[in-house]
Amino acid sequence: MRERLRAALSGRRGGPHVALFVDGPNVLRDEFDVDLDDVRAAAEKQGRTTLARLYLDEHATPGLIQAGEARGFEVVVTSGDVDVKLATDAAGVAADGDADVIAVASRDTDFKPVLEAAAGRGLRTLAIAPGEYGRSDALRNAAHDAVTIETDRK
């Protein structure tokens, strides 16, 4: 039954639906020089991005929040742990079947269980890393596909 559901979902208009979750504090660091447009482009190679969320903590600058919104991301600011909020939301989307692909942009191994749970529900998974030295091998190995965003280091 789950196989038929996945087959039907992947035939949705516009191809597979991708839910993109970006761990802002871990990805948007000066040493990585990552552009949110590059993160979105990496996810869109898997299908049509139907959900794009950027998670930030309470220390995020108004400029960073505006930049996320200007690039079409739903910005989620939390006073708690960004990892917990992102993981909970991603697991919820995976459980609801609202996406065919779960993409997580982070260098944090904490998201490995999210990718494993999504894969267990028949969804494709994608790990997006901010630069070669910002990559989590555990996260990369847990995902069906992995992409490293090439950055120009300052």
Reply yes or no on whether the pLDDT at 37 is more than 50. Answer: yes
User: Mind listing the pLDDT tens digit for each residue in 104-135?
Assistant: 999 889 999 999 999 999 999 999 998 766 67
Say how many C-beta atoms besides its own lie within 10 A of residue 1's C-beta.
5
Q: Which stretch of DSSP H or E encloses residue 65?
A: helix 62-70
pTM of the predicted protein model:
0.88
pLDDT in tens, 79-103: 989 999 999 999 999 999 889 999 9
What domains can be seen in the chain, in order of their start residue?
A: 2-149 (3.40.50.1010)
- CA-closest candidate to residue 139, choices 120, 122, 114, 119: 114
Residue 27 burial (CB < 10 Å; 0-12/13-18/19+)?
Answer: buried
Confidence of residue 30 (pLDDT cuts 50, 70, 90): confident
